Amino acid sequence: MEFDDVVTRRRMVRRYSHRSVPAETVTRVLRNAARTPSAGDSQGYAFLLLDTDEQRGRFWAALADTMPVVESVRDAPVLVVPMSSEHVYLDRYAEPDKGWTDRDPARWPVPFWHIDTGMAALLMLLTAVDEGLGALFFGIPAPALEGFRAAFDVPDGYTPVGAVALGYPEPGAGPSKPSKARRPWRDLVHHGAWGTPL
């Protein structure tokens, strides 16, 4: 598939068939996610793969009281939870070639640990399209984090940036309808100075 086709076909899919996803396809999704950019080659991210009924059941149970879930999303046969680690980045930038020995997070204008992990999630979404899968990125509510961590023994140093559902779209199910029209891309570009159109 051409790259432009992958980008334009990417949609958030909320209805899945019960068809299983081949292990080699899941491996490709995860391998590509690990190729995300990483400040200082810190690689302060990790991916929790949930691909059995029991594992996915524990996940949905951990979120049950904190968010409404579209029932058809529960049919997705694969869930991946990308997680970021601030301390890995702070440790990396305290090394001699970086030299920020105070490990002060205030040195970072934005939290790159979350940004890099978010880019990894996007690589999952794009790889899913290229593999003929549907995918959905969704958030894990803050009140669910303690239960999620306990259910999967996640260390305190790792923070989920969301979750990715993967699977084959339900036959005949179209993409989810946008709640509002997408703005033309040119409206988002400021050329040379703010407010100057391209």
Antiparallel, parallel or unpaired: β 134-138 and 45-50: unpaired
Domain ranges of the chain: 3-188
pLDDT at 40 over 80: yes
- State residue 173's pLDDT score: 66
Q: To the nearest whole number, what is the mean pLDDT of the chain?
A: 91
Confidence (pTM)? 0.91
pLDDT at 177 over 70: no
| CATH domain 3-188 topology | NADH Oxidase (3.40.109)
Q: What are phi and psi of 106, to 5 degrees?
A: -65, -15
Mean pLDDT of 30-55: 95
pLDDT at 176 over 90: no
* Residues in a beta bridge with 53: none
pLDDT tens track for 115-167: 999 999 999 999 999 999 999 999 999 999 999 999 999 999 999 999 999 99
The end-to-end CA distance of the chain, in Å, is 29
- State residue 1's pLDDT score: 85
- Which position has the higher pLDDT, 41 or 70? 41
